[in-house]
């Protein structure tokens, strides 16, 4: 399975989120792993690459991120739709077996305890950039991307290839109430000199 997962140069890491997918956020601290879904995540900066994600005060994942100073943002695929919905609607505090019930399989791409969700199309390992005011007031967390990987069946040469990878590799985009869209067909605008 890992043979299709390849490192992504950090200068291209922003492209893993630029299309606005729902993401999975995972973290580990003091022997506890958790995964949650987040619809509000975006690229923030190029060099060093940074991203933002909103983590509500009530989530266990936020507690783990604040405790460890590290987290992973990953891009789930159509195959992980139900898993994404399940980890996004259940709390580890209320449902200690949530990851097992949702069928979450964890990988350890970074070579340590940081959990990565198997079956995703991309993974961004992040170091928390502490911004206490933003975190407390807006639930907004900034992560510096320190490593990135993608499944070459859908992301290679610095670009997404959803159109040739098959619908099951499409990213999912949450709207509300368990309703998602799958990324659509590619279209291209002409460059300035062509029109």
Q: Structure pTM?
A: 0.93
The torsion defined by the Cα of 36, 169, 163 and 74, in degrees rounded to 10, comes to: 30
Neighbours of 66 (CB within 10 A): 17
Phi and psi angles of residue 94, each rounded to the nearest 5 degrees, phi first:
-95, -20
Residue with tokens 């995703």: 120
Q: What is the pLDDT of residue 194?
A: 61
Listed residue (18, 1, 2) closest to 158, CA to CA: 18
Q: What is the pLDDT of residue 193?
A: 67
- DSSP tag of 22: -
CA distance 59 to 66: 11
Structure tokens that stand for 156 in this block: 């290679």
* Domains of the chain, first to last: 2-194 (2.30.110.10)
For the chain, 195 residues long, the average pLDDT of each consecutive 10-residue run is 86 90 96 95 94 95 97 97 95 91 93 94 97 97 97 96 94 91 86 66
Q: What is the pLDDT of residue 110?
A: 79
């Amino acid at each position: 399975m890992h043979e299709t997962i390849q490192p992504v140069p950090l200068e291209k890491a922003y492209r893993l989120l630029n299309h606005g997918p729902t993401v999975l956020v995972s973290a580990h601290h003091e022997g506890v792993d958790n995964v949650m879904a987040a619809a509000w995540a975006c690229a923030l900066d190029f060099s060093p690459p940074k991203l933002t994600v909103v983590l509500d005060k009530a989530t266990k994942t936020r507690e783990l991120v604040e405790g460890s100073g590290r987290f992973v943002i990953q891009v789930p695929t159509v195959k992980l739709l139900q898993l994404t919905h399940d980890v996004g609607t259940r709390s580890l505090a209320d449902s200690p077996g949530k990851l097992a019930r949702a069928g979450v399989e964890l990988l350890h791409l970074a070579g340590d305890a940081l959990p990565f969700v198997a079956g995703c199309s991309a993974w961004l390992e992040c170091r928390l950039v502490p911004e206490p005011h933003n975190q407390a007031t807006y639930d907004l967390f900034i992560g510096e991307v320190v490593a990135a990987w993608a499944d070459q069946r859908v992301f290679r040469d610095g670009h997404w290839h959803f159109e040739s990878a098959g619908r099951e590799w499409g990213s999912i985009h949450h709207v509300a109430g368990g309703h998602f869209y799958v990324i659509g067909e590619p279209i291209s605008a002409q460059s300035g000199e062509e029109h």
